[in-house]
Amino acid sequence: MKPGSWSQRRALVTGATGLIGSWLVKELLARGAHVVALVMDDDPQSQFFRDGDYRRTTVVTGRLEDLAALQRAVNVQEVDTVFHLGAQTLVGPAARAPWETFESNIRGTYNLLEVCRLNSGLVRRVVVASSDKAYGEQPRLPYLETMPLEGRQPYEVSKSCADLLAQSYFRTYRLPVAIARCGNVYGGGDLNWSRIVPGTIRSLLRGERPVLRSDGTHKRDYVFVKDVVQAYLLLAEKLERRGVAGESFNFGPNRPLSVLALVAAISRLLGSRLKPDIRDSARGEILSQYLSSAKAARLLGWRPAYSLEDGLRQTIAWYRTRLAQPRGG
């Protein structure tokens, strides 16, 4: 597939109302693709609905656990490209209700992969969203794609399983699939206020101290959502090249940052001197996890286009605008 040839493509995006999904839909529409969006619920707060992008897409209402809904989205809509982003993405809810997370993230993934296999005459490329969490806790850093997937907590396990399922469908059935393992993705449109970036921005805009669930020393990758969208598109465009199908790719800035350093960067951009409220109540989280993106750079030509400061500036601007609107908070 040639880069820029999306005008002839019909792409399914699961998780279209989520942070990455909503930005991916925007970019696909801008490139002229016909977009099919699998949506579980109409969420008026989601960027996908608030910006009116749903009016320019074919919306299929259904859950990942519903095989018939997925068959309708793929077969009836005759999609040739699938971006599987739909998942339960929060660590806290996964720990409190693991069954729901396993149903969505594991069953939902093998359902979709099976529908793609059954419609192999239509589907030419599949990109599956995994996560750095799929690695679990490793003795060496940064994470490399050759390391084993050893998730232990419920959310980590769900991502390890989804990742392995995608690999299995390639190796067993030659399904044209590639896997994206991203660091912590941030950007405008994330309404999960328990996450550090949107939670900190909202607190500071309200003149409140940002709350840290950890002690602030945890180190993570923070990658801007527009860089992640480009990563997904590159994977799809280059999936037919040798060394891409069946492979996993890490996407991160190669610049790990502590939670305290991230909060300090946001505070500096907002001109705030409020100190964070450090609760140190988080349990079961890995102290440090970050990725090497060398493989993505070598085989895909992917590198982050946005610095942390650039990404945070755009993110802050998005929340300034939306939180000033009546329905934004």
Q: Give yes or no for a cis peptide into 139 (omega within 30° of 0).
A: no
Question: Judging by DSSP bridges, how do beta strands 257-258 and 219-220 pair with one another?
Answer: antiparallel
- Overall average pLDDT of the 291-313 stretch: 97
188-210 pLDDT tens trace: 999 899 899 999 999 999 999 99
Whether the model pTM is above 0.85: yes
Q: pLDDT tens digit string along 139-183?
A: 999 999 999 999 999 999 999 999 999 999 999 999 999 999 999
Task: Answer whether residue 3 shows pLDDT above 70.
Answer: no
pLDDT tens digits along 5-57: 899 899 999 999 999 999 999 999 999 999 999 998 778 889 999 999 999 99
Tokens of 52: 């009116």
In whole angstroms, give the CA distance from residue 185 to residue 30. 22
User: Any catalytic annotation for residue 135?
Assistant: no
Tell me the average pLDDT across 120-133: 97
pLDDT over 90 (residue 329): no
Where helices occur in 119-252 by DSSP H, the ranges are 154-173, 196-205, 225-237
Q: How much is the mean pLDDT over the chain? A: 93
The confidence band for 92, taking pLDDT boundaries of 50, 70 and 90, is confident
CA distances from 139 to 144, 148, 150, 284, 289 (A): 12, 11, 11, 16, 10
Domains of the chain by start residue, with CATH: 6-184+224-252+289-304 (3.40.50.720)
Which one from 54, 135, 143, 155 is the annotated catalytic residue?
155
pLDDT of residue 93: 84
Q: What is the pLDDT of residues 5-14, one digit of tens each?
A: 899 899 999 9
